[in-house]
Amino acid sequence: MAVIGQSSPVRWAAPDGPWTEPDLHLFPPDGHRYEIIDGSLYVTPPLDKEHESLVAALVGTLRSAAPAGWWVCDRLGIEIGGSNLIPDVTVLRPHSSGSVWAEPADVALVAEVETEPSRRCDRLLKPAVYAEAGIARYWRIERAPEPVLHAYALGPDGYEPRGTIRGADPVKVDAPYPLRVAPGSWS
């Protein structure tokens, strides 16, 4: 007979209704990303070192150009109605609420670094939720063969492409604030 905590996995039960933020506390800090979209649970496998390096480089680029009062965070949760999303990178406007789960009105930009398991969610589902919440800018970064940044701005019908940036030569962008990005240098 196995004793919980020794060699048997911990068992949990799904809620009777939609998943909510308190349910996220059921899960151990095991490297998986647990998110809720419209009451449904989404789980992403642990991320590899290449992904983490790319996130760190993007955070460094955004932080180095951030005006006073702006915050650049990795894995800061955003609460959007019945959804609790955790983007790879979030840029918060000055005078943000400072809550554990950021409010969409405080968010100037969200960025997702694609992985094979997250590709559909990063291209279709998450942008739709972010746009519906009114988040002005969305960046999606493809990883291979070298990093490529796809920039989007919120339009009347969701996100509209604002450009694709690749290579190691810095390119000026105007949002979330003026900065230069060179995705080819992030790998």
Contact 40, 126 (CB under 8 A): no
| DSSP labels, 151-176 | EEEEETTEEEEEEEEESSS-EEE-SS
CATH number, domain of 92, equals 3.90.1570.10
Structure tokens at 156: 């009347």
Domain count, the chain: 1
pLDDT digit string (tens) for 28-73? 899 999 999 999 999 999 999 999 999 999 999 999 999 999 999 9
Structure tokens at 68: 């006073």
Structure tokens at 106: 């405080």
pLDDT digit string (tens) for 112-163? 999 999 999 999 999 999 999 999 999 999 997 999 999 999 999 999 999 9
Residue 78 is assigned to a structural domain of this protein: yes
Residue 112 is assigned to a structural domain of this protein: yes
- What domain range includes position 77? 48-185
- Beta strand 89-92 with 107-113: parallel, antiparallel or unpaired? antiparallel
Residue 164 is assigned to a structural domain of this protein: yes
pTM of the model: 0.91
